[in-house]
Chain A
């Protein structure tokens, strides 16, 4: 038996050796569903006569936020599990969730800016919703800096878990702020819009079907598949680190 196989490898190292069939199937299904969702928003959903085609960006904008909420929610659960069990696999899951959630939140923010330009006549305004979304992104960007700044692995995992759990308050605030602040101009797609909302729209049956379909794709399939892939990379990274330790000892 070689030294490599005797090395203290991570528990889930075997998962990095081969691609699980379920993950490959899920990835293919997700890719197909994403394209179908895109075709639906382009060709099936009805045209909003007051906003024109740009209204269609809402199907990605809203769904990306839902996906970010799910992915970042995974990191909260993983963070709690790490603090409870102290097993590094939960920290790896938390990191994976935040990385995927960060990309989805960024997609949400930037598509919102693109929509705002023709509808509000500006790329950016310090509206309560936009401000809270920007704070949310910056809070999660700081998570990566926090991880990079702590050398001790145990301390890094513990502090990152606590930070990841607390950071989720920014997601909750971003979600509820248009429902509790009367001065926001951001419309609510689901539920009644605030009285000052500019650019709201009624969902026709084809719009509702498109929104529902994209919400499922972006909040169930895309985050889960991406988190799974990211987790495999993190597991492989752990295995490489274990191998480095073995080589260094020789």
Chain B
């Protein structure tokens, strides 16, 4: 039975998974940073409004 030569494409798989992680991670990081920034603004504005 002839031996099947399987191409070594593991590096591309890892690249693809890495890129997916970066894109989705960037989206989540953007959410977190924006949420924190808005929370800070909210607290500061509440303080000003109450003073």
Q: Which residues of chain A have a CB within 8 Å of any CB of chain B?
A: 2-4, 7, 38, 47, 49-57, 60-61, 64, 99-100, 103, 106-107, 110-111, 114-115, 117-118, 222, 226, 229-230, 232-233, 236-237, 239-240, 243-244, 246-247, 250
Contacts and interface: CB of A to CB of B under 8 A. Distances in A.
Contact of A233 (B7, B9, B34, B45): B34
Given A110-B19, A237-B38, A51 B9 contact: yes
Contact of B23 (A3, A56, A107, A247): A107
Contacts of B20: 60, 64, 107, 110-111
Given A52-B9, A117-B12, A240-B41, 19 more contacts: A4-B50, A53-B10, A53-B13, A54-B13, A54-B16, A57-B12, A57-B16, A107-B24, A111-B16, A114-B19, A226-B27, A230-B31, A243-B41, A243-B42, A243-B49, A244-B45, A246-B45, A247-B48, A250-B49
B6 A47 contact: yes
B12 A118 contact: yes
A38 B50 CA distance: 49
Q: Say which size band chain B's interface belongs to.
A: 20 to 34
A110 B23 contact: yes
Contacts, number: 104
A114 B11 CA distance: 10
B45 A243 contact: yes
Nearest to B5: A49
Contacts of A7: 49
B40 to A, nearest CB: 10
Given A52-B9, A111-B19, A239 B42 contact: yes
B15 interface: yes
A107 B27 CA distance: 11
Given A51-B9, A53-B9, A56-B13, A233 B19 contact: no
18 contacts: A2-B50, A49-B6, A51-B7, A52-B9, A53-B8, A53-B9, A53-B10, A57-B16, A64-B20, A99-B27, A107-B20, A110-B19, A114-B19, A237-B38, A240-B42, A243-B45, A243-B46, A247-B45
Closest 4 CB pairs of A and B: A54-B9, A52-B9, A57-B16, A243-B45
A226 B27 CA distance: 9
Given A103-B23, A243-B45, A118 B7 contact: yes
Contacts of A230: 31
Contact of B8 (A38, A52, A243, A246): A52
B35 A233 contact: yes
A235 to B, nearest CB: 10
B15 A114 contact: yes
